[in-house]
């Protein structure tokens, strides 16, 4: 009897211990509780812990897209032959008949039925043109992978395939792994397996021939991307040392990003051919068919939520720790007492919550260097900024000078005189702004720190104007008088900048006209002409008296 009681008590105690161990195992935590009430010296209070949603089958939340869109078989109806037996050609695909249709949704339905359901592509009827298919799985949410990605092919596994990931909702893509019967020939990569990886090469992108054998095995239909084998490089073969893995995930961003996705893309590049030459007379043997895709993971909530809801075809975290956003990636309004930070897995088993503190902690201490005591939270930017900066300052923390002021190099940031007015001359400067040393931007002909002086050749007159004349080098000509160095006062008969032009040159009659100010040209008199004729006749007579020279 006592033995039975002992045995019962022992079993009960063991069960309680096992339940406790299952909730918080000694080696690692489940992180399924975000907070719990505890008693302290101040009474009942909250104890906050890092938390995350349970892992789940993520294929029930995805959207699948095929490229090209018309790659699914059945429109028009087709008949297919078995890869292993080219004479067995009794398989039909007809999109208009439910029993014979093979739409993409059948890659994600519940298996176990007989016959197996699967998606199927059109046949390789355009050979030798490549039969290329992209299958894109989109979650519109950041998720973290927790188990192997497994594709089950109803036909032979493809001879060439690439698995890709996106972290920005499909805008950019990076390869996860290459698959081929001959990695060197297909991708110019040495063949490797996940067993070849180490802690230092875990992030390497490899090509494997392990899942692309050319011959057909009845139960050899899966293609994997090994997540757990990569976890085991840190956590041990049976994943007993998860503390080591969590420590790496906490401190190595690239490692955590490696297991984080928003989208997956399967690129099918060459279908199975049965390790033989392509039979061009029976191309209906070659196609892709996938019966199941498994993606196990959880919503990424930055360790600030233990549940994720699917509403209106969208996943979102139910955030705790005063956080908000699809990934709990920022602090809630009025909880910006300190900068947002993701939770931490360490120390095991509860981790660190890194909750967002109430903004009341910021009142009177806004980190504004004493130039303001008011702050405002900009939710879009997840940023706290100072409001109504004084002492001619501006900026998020009142750490900059207003326009028209510059930093006093001899004053500290919290000094009321940290900003000095530029005092640019309004006539000589382009604007009232100056550079960091107080020098203003000057107009043409102006110089000096505040643009208050003129360059040589310029004269100050509410700004620097070009010097026109003086009594030394730029003298006014033809009796002109220099007035204030800016113009020549010319006599009535002259004009020009320096009185250098006769005024008649610019008038209608020219310098010979009656109004030109010069004597007109008059024709010679009759007596003058007669005298010229007589002189010419005498010269001719004298020349005729000379003898001819032979």
* Domains (range + CATH), the chain: 56-299 (2.60.120.260), 429-466 (2.10.25), 469-504 (2.10.25.10)
**Per-residue DSSP letter, 331:** E
Query: What is the residue-averaged pLDDT of the chain?
Result: 84
Sequence-ordered alpha helix ranges (H) in 236-335: 242-251, 253-258
More confident: 457 or 124: 124
Task: Place 6 in a pLDDT band, splitting at 50, 70 and 90.
Answer: very low
What is the SS3 assignment for 262? strand
Could you tell me which residues are beta bridge partners of residue 38? 45
Length of the chain, in residues: 550
At residue 200, φ and ψ (nearest 5 deg) are -85, -20
**Per-residue DSSP letter, 157:** P
CA trace torsion 317, 320, 325, 330 (10° rounding): -140
CA dist 427 and 406 (Å) reads 20
- Given a contact cutoff of 8 angstroms between Cβ atoms, the answer to whether 366 and 357 are in contact is no
H/E segment holding residue 526: helix 526-544
H/E segment holding residue 537: helix 526-544
More confident: 25 or 420: 420
Report the pLDDT value the prediction gives residue 87, as an integer from 0 to 100. Answer: 79
pLDDT at residue 421 tops 90 = yes
- Cis bond leading into 76, ω under 30°? yes
Q: What is the pLDDT of residues 269-290, one digit of tens each?
A: 999 998 778 988 889 999 999 9
Q: What is the pLDDT of residues 141-193, one digit of tens each?
A: 999 999 999 999 998 899 999 999 999 999 999 999 999 999 999 999 999 99
Sign of CA dihedral 506, 512, 516, 518: positive
What is the SS3 assignment for 184? helix
Structure tokens at 386: 């100072």
Task: Place 301 in a pLDDT band, splitting at 50, 70 and 90.
Answer: very high
CA dist 220 and 212 (Å) reads 10
Q: What is the pLDDT of residues 112-131, one digit of tens each?
A: 666 789 999 999 999 999 99
Strand order through the sheet with 289-294:
119-120, 289-294, 149-153, 222-225
- Given a contact cutoff of 8 angstroms between Cβ atoms, the answer to whether 212 and 187 are in contact is no
Mean pLDDT is lowest, of 19-23, 419-423, 538-542, for 19-23
- Given a contact cutoff of 8 angstroms between Cβ atoms, the answer to whether 324 and 309 are in contact is no
H/E segment holding residue 384: strand 383-386
Report the pLDDT value the prediction gives residue 358, as an integer from 0 to 100. Answer: 78
């Amino acid at each position: 009897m006592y033995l039975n009681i002992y045995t019962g008590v022992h079993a009960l105690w063991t069960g309680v211990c096992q339940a406790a161990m299952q909730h918080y195992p000694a080696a690692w935590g489940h992180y399924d509780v975000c907070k719990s009430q505890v008693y302290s010296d101040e009474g009942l209070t909250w104890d906050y812990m890092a938390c995350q949603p349970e892992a789940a089958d993520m294929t029930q939340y995805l959207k699948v897209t095929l490229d090209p869109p018309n790659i699914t078989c059945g429109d028009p109806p087709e008949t297919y032959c078995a890869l292993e037996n080219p004479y067995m050609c009794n398989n039909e695909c007809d999109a208009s008949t439910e029993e014979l249709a093979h739409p993409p949704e059948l890659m994600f339905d519940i298996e176990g039925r007989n016959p197996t359901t699967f998606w199927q592509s059109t046949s390789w009827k355009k050979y030798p043109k490549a039969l290329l298919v992209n299958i894109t799985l989109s979650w519109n949410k950041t998720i973290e992978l927790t188990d192997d990605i497994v594709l089950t092919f109803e036909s032979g596994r493809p001879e060439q395939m690439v698995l890709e990931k996106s972290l920005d909702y499909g805008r950019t893509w990076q390869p996860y792994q290459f698959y081929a019967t001959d990695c060197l020939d297909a991708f110019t990569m040495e063949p490797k397996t996940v067993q070849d990886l180490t802690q230092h090469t875990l992030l390497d992108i490899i090509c494997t021939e392990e899942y692309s054998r050319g011959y057909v095995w009845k139960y050899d239909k899966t293609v994997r991307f090994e997540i757990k084998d990569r976890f085991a490089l840190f956590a041990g073969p049976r994943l007993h040392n998860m503390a080591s893995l969590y420590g790496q995930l906490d401190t190595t961003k690239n490692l955590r990003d490696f297991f984080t996705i928003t989208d997956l893309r399967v690129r099918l590049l060459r279908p199975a051919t049965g390790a033989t030459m392509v039979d061009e007379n029976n191309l209906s043997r070659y196609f892709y068919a996938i019966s199941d895709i498994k993606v196990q993971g959880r919503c990424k909530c930055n360790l600030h939520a233990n549940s994720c809801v699917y509403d209106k075809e969208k996943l979102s975290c139910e955030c705790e720790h005063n956080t908000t956003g699809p990934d709990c990636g920022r602090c809630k309004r009025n909880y910006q007492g300190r900068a947002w930070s993701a939770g931490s897995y360490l120390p095991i088993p509860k981790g660190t919550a890194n909750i967002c503190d109430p903004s009341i902690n910021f009142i009177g201490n806004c980190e504004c260097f004493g130039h303001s005591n008011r702050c405002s939270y900009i939710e879009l930017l997840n940023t706290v900024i100072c409001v109504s900066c004084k002492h001619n300052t501006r900026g998020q923390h009142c750490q900059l000078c207003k326009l028209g002021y510059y930093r006093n190099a001899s004053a500290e940031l919290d000094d009321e005189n940290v900003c000095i007015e530029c005092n640019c001359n309004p006539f000589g400067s382009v604007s009232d702004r100056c550079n960091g040393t107080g020098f203003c931007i000057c107009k043409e002909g102006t110089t000096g720190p505040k643009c208050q002086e003129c360059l040589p050749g310029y004269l100050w007159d509410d700004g620097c104007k070009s010097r026109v004349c003086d009594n030394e080098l730029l003298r006014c000509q033809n009796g002109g008088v220099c007035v204030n160095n800016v113009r020549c006062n010319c006599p009535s008969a002259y004009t020009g900048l320096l009185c250098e032009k006769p005024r008649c040159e610019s008038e209608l009659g020219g310098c010979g006209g009656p109004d030109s100010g010069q004597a007109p040209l008059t024709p010679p008199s009759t007596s003058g002409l007669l005298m010229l004729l007589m002189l010419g006749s005498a010269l001719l007579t004298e020349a005729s008296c000379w003898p001819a020279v032979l």
